[in-house]
Structure 1
């Protein structure tokens, strides 16, 4: 069977004889496992070297387009900028198009203005107009990777982020464990229902708490902005005196904590997402219980890699789900 490298190349790389390499490639009997491992490692090394040659001297301009609270976009921007040098000898630069609240039309317009890009990392509404804008970019030769929330009907080349449904189920498990037999209701806060990732978290959370006897009270359309979120949460708490727990899907946690404190109500458990500066401080101070987090630098690295793979600059590697980390005040990472 033909191989992408000549037997002679693999033999030189591995230090084995050509006859031994040939036996491994053709799955012939009588070859030791460590010999097979040596050949596979040699092939992996050749792949890396080929990728380095393809990357050498190349310049790529990546656009990051996100509608999200500033505390999250600041954290992800820092993660992207920290990962750009890791793709040397290629030179990657990033442009950032970031805003906190806006319409679908604003997102479509922003995508339509992109010129000279080699790829887009996108956090956007799951809307047909957005999907069409993504398709237009892809048709023009610009690969798009969706981040944290997907637009699956589009021609995007991949999605990077946690299993959002699984995150919601995890949050429900933690809430139940903390509340125990206490007859408390739960507040769930979302930034906007148009983000698919948030909807998947909510569905997972509700499904896991079904038949538990707790009322789930929803607050949405705050865009994760503290001032708006505090007003909405205060109204929800006033109307629902049994609420004593929170699952924050969309952020604005400083405001949610402030709302509980303002009316003097105890919050027995508070589950949030992402280790931004606000959540780190709230977690250290014991004002929230746990944060469901994933490594933003690993996310940035994977998103950039998917774009370079799509452009043929790197070998294709399988995309693995991003693991969810349950962070408490006692295992808070030193660095973001």
Structure 2
């Protein structure tokens, strides 16, 4: 297996022993395919981090464990990697475990494995369940700080939360939908990816409260549980809406907006207002096409910078005063898509 990195660097990145990496690199027998893939993945990550490897400073290896659809996990990775060069006086070496869906057991096993091999910190996006909270407590006992990102586990031993103020986001979505609709009655479709993601729960609770207080004639139709994945989300929307509902607005908290629109179109439904989250490729294209009314955006780079600064503070590389706040809610419409996003995604149309 061709590479240009020291074996100890590959072993550190892969979280494997030197002997195991040696067997993989030299093509020896009795090595599991999963182990070979871990080494290949580690080399690919090192290639992306070449600038970091040449930088002097305190080396911090951090593990990024994320359950999210690929479109959002790609955004998280891009945001973190964009921040790495500016995180002086530390040199961050991220190791990524990102999957569309993860069972509680898979998350717990991943956190236990991190504890066994060691880490300077964990950035975690996972469901708020007791077993995950227990695994966070174990890491804390081993001296490994955990920062929850984008969805919190507040009753755990996590050191901090970095991400959007989800309560404010939910209330903002309710206000926008109420203002957008000419007549304030009808059915509003809401979708969460999973009921165990605390951030989406907070969005939904504040959205529901604000809508009931301001616009009591708007009734909610819940199509949650599709994990933000297209096929599952589309199926749940069709089942929830059925034939007796008239959807006048949509608040999508968990993604899968292309699938939501496709499901509604198949039933002859065209919402007057559609609010989504995050400026990923799909949502930017939907904004340009006028199919999304607005996206509630937050600066992922600022959030990842805040998370990394918290880890640096834990390791006494920064004072507490240097740790910044998480990002605020920004309402993005087709008229104010940030120039940086336009440049990143260009004007290519999304495949049909």
Q: TM-score, normalised by structure 2?
A: 0.77
The residue number in structure 2 matching 1:32 is none
Radius of gyration: which is bigger? 1
Aligned equivalent of 1:328, options 325, 328, 333:
333
Q: How does 1:63-212 map to 2 (within 5 A)?
A: 63-114=63-114, 115-210=117-212, 212=216
Does the 8 Å CA contact 1:56/1:88 hold for their aligned counterparts? no
CA offset at residue 75 of structure 1?
0.6
Point out 4+ residue stretches in structure 1 off by more than 6 angstroms.
Answer: none
How many pairs does the alignment contain?
282
Partner SS state of residue 158, structure 2: coil
Distance 1:239 1:142 in 2: 52
Q: 2:276 aligns with which of 272, 275, 288?
A: 272
Distance 2:303 2:244 in 1: 38
Whole-angstrom distance in 1 between the partners of 2:326 and 2:106: 30
Asked if structure 2 preserves the Cα contact closer than 8 Å seen for 1:164 and 1:197, the reply is yes
The 3-state SS of whatever aligns with 1:205 is helix
The one-character-per-residue Cα deviations of 1:125-146 (angstroms, maximum 9, x if unpaired) are 1111111101111111111100
CA distance, structure 2, for counterparts of residue 63 and residue 332 of structure 1 = 32
User: 2:221 touches 2:241 (CA, 8 Å); kept in 1?
Assistant: no
Partners of 1:165 and 1:259 in 2: CA distance? 28
Q: Is residue 2:220 matched to residue 1:216?
A: yes
Matched residues in 2 for 1:90 and 1:152: separation? 27
Structure 2 CA distance for aligned equivalents of residues 89 and 146 of structure 1: 23
Deviation at 1:285, TM superposition (A): 0.8
Query: What residue is the counterpart of 2:31 in the other structure?
Result: none
Q: Could you give the per-residue CA deviations for residues 233-276 of structure 1, whole angstroms, max 9, x where no partner exists?
A: 11222244222210001111010011122222111000000001
**What's the CA shift string for 1:12-38, capped at 9, x where partnerless?**
xxxxxxxxxxxxxxxxxxxxxxxxxxx
User: What's 1:261 paired with?
Assistant: 265
Q: Give the drift of 1:283.
A: 0.6
- Look up the SS of the partner of 1:209 in the other structure: helix
Residue correspondence of structure 1 range 13-28 to structure 2 within 5 A: none
Gaps of at least 5 residues in structure 2 are 1-54, 342-352
CA distance in 1, matches of 2:89, 2:163: 27
SS at match of 1:150: coil
> Retained in 2: the 8 A contact 1:68–1:99?
yes
CA distance in 2, matches of 1:90, 1:312: 11
TM-superposed CA distance for 1:108, in Å, is: 0.8
- Cα distance, 1:77 vs structure 2: 0.2
Q: Give 2:297's aligned residue.
A: 293
Change (3 A) 1:273 1:145: same
> Unpaired runs of 5+ in structure 1?
1-54
Give, in angstroms, the shift of residue 182 of structure 1.
4.5
Q: Secondary structure at the match of 1:304?
A: helix
Do the aligned partners of 2:302 and 2:326 also contact (CA within 8 Å) in 1? Answer: no
TM-score, scaled to structure 1: 0.81
The DSSP-based 3-state class of the residue aligned with 1:210 is helix
State how far apart, in whole Å, the 2-side matches of 1:88 and 1:208 are. Answer: 42
Q: Residues of 2 paired with 1:91 and 1:322: CA distance?
A: 23
Paired with 2:292 and 2:130, the residues of 1 have a C-alpha distance of: 36
